[in-house]
Amino acid sequence: MLTDDRLIYLVFTAQQKLRTYLKNALDMEEIRVTPAQTGILFLLKRREGQSMTELSQLLSIDNSTITGLIDRLEKSGFVSRKVSPTDRRIFHIYLTTQGMKEINRAKTVIRRVNEEIKTGFSEQEIESFKKVLNSFFEKFNEGK
């Protein structure tokens, strides 16, 4: 068995393959949000009214990217944005009824894909993998 120790390449490649697989799974169920958009909707479901900057920080994506994602979600009717009562430069983002329905549908698919990913691995292997991933988060958050 060939081994590849190019960790950056392996992580990025795995991420891209997972994103494509998840996008296809969502498409098969006629779910209209993308994997990136689901992250925003899940965060808003947990706590509505977050600012675009807060969402950007929580998802580790830049402000221009979050703006584009919010624009598309708003155009699709899944979120609404309201100007902050204390600072007109800040917008707070809210789930619409349609957005709540869409994220609940997406949640089912995402749970299924999450279980599919685990197939063929022991519980110990999964726990070790989670430990490695969490150590990445800790290591690379030190610089922030």
> Could you read off the pLDDT tens digit of each residue along the chain, which spans 144 residues?
556 788 888 889 999 999 999 999 999 999 999 999 999 999 999 999 999 999 999 998 998 999 999 999 999 999 999 998 888 889 999 999 999 999 999 999 999 999 999 999 999 999 999 999 899 888 887 555
Identify the pLDDT of residue 142. 57
Within a domain: 141: no
Our count of domains for the chain comes to 1
Query: Would you say residue 136 lies in a domain?
Result: no
The CATH number of whichever domain residue 63 belongs to comes to 1.10.10.10
Range of the domain at 102: 7-108
Residue 128: inside a domain, yes or no? no
Residues 6+ apart with CB under 8 A from 22: 35, 109, 110, 113
Per the domain annotation, does 84 fall within a domain? yes
Instruction: With respect to residue 69, please indicate whether it lies within any of the assigned structural domains.
Output: yes
Tell me if 127 is assigned to some domain: no
φ and ψ of 105, to 5 deg:
-65, -45
Q: Is residue 124 part of a domain?
A: no
Closest CA to 70 of 87, 97, 50, 47: 50
In a domain, 117, yes or no: no
